[in-house]
Amino acid sequence: MILFGLIGAKALYLLFAWLLSAAGSAWLAERKGYGERVGLTLGLLLSVVGLLIMLLVMPGRPGSAWKREGPIPRRRRAP
């Protein structure tokens, strides 16, 4: 019975990694000017590898937030 508990915890950690990589890829793709769907697809199908592809391989498009503001977005001040 202990074996099933360990498998469940590992599966939960893998699920969190999968979901976070999909969300991170979507956010990066949107900032780089490709649209959210491209990053979400890469993150869901390739998991952490998709996040690395979006971060390291895909260049930012001209006029995108990645090119205008740089890799780290500026914080907005509250009104």
Q: What is the pLDDT of residues 19-53, one digit of tens each?
A: 999 999 999 999 999 999 999 999 999 988 999 99
Q: What is the pLDDT of residues 48-72, one digit of tens each?
A: 899 999 999 999 999 999 999 888 8
pTM, to two decimals: 0.81
Nearest C-alpha neighbor of 23 from the set 58, 47, 53? 47
Does the pLDDT of residue 1 top 60, yes or no?
no
Helix axes 2-32, 36-46, angle to 10 degrees: 150
CA 56 to chain CA centroid, Å, is: 12
